[in-house]
Amino acid sequence: MPKITMTVNGQERSADIEARTLLSSFLREDLGLTGTHVGCDTSQCGACIVHIDGQAVKSCATLALQNEGREITTIEGLAKPDGTLHPMQTAFHENHGLQCGFCTPGMIMTATDMIKRYQASGAPLDEKAVRAELEGNLCRCTGYQNIVKAILDASTQMSA
């Protein structure tokens, strides 16, 4: 079995894995980072989104071996080491941007990448843009209104 080494949430992690292991499985089963959810097994729902070298990627659609030497951030890695939540996590809490919570990690990871990209480009982030950006993330509970509200709120907080 090949050995893989990557940085996950700021810590170098290594393991011997089967070549066919998906990144989502590696994170959940080998590293115990169960915040990355797998909801569909077809890369349709977005619950498995993590950041790979700073970009939002569906971890169920990439092999762990493809990420040798890369920087991976999961939902567990967004909060500060002292437990202070990331502004996006706080905004989801304060704006009731979740119900069952299953899609929430993927939504938050997508949203943080979205805001970073919009801020870098200088393009305005409004409700229409947020809804378009969330097309790869499915929520079966909320109707998205409070999710969009949370993302727009966090965008303001993250630009301050």
User: Could you tell me the residue ranges of all domains in the chain?
Assistant: 3-77, 87-159
Task: Determine the pLDDT at residue 10.
Answer: 97
pLDDT tens across the length of the chain (160 residues): 999 999 999 999 999 999 999 999 999 999 999 999 998 878 899 999 999 999 999 999 999 999 999 999 999 999 999 999 999 999 999 999 999 999 999 999 999 999 999 999 999 999 999 999 999 999 999 889 999 999 999 999 998 7
Task: Determine the pLDDT at residue 106.
Answer: 97
**Sign of the CA dihedral with 104 first, then 105, 106, and 111 last:** positive
In three-state form (DSSP H/G/I as H, E/B as E, the rest C), the secondary structure along 120-134 is HHCCCCCHHHHHHHH
Task: Determine the pLDDT at residue 155.
Answer: 97
Rg (CA), the chain: 15
Q: Which fold has domain 87-159?
A: DNA polymerase; domain 1 (1.10.150)
Q: Where are the beta strands (DSSP E) in 22-86?
A: 49-52, 55-58, 71-73
Q: Do domains 3-77 and 87-159 have the same CATH topology?
A: no
Report the distance separating Cα 111 and Cα 108, nearest Å.
5
Task: Determine the pLDDT at residue 159.
Answer: 84
CATH number of 3-77: 3.10.20.30
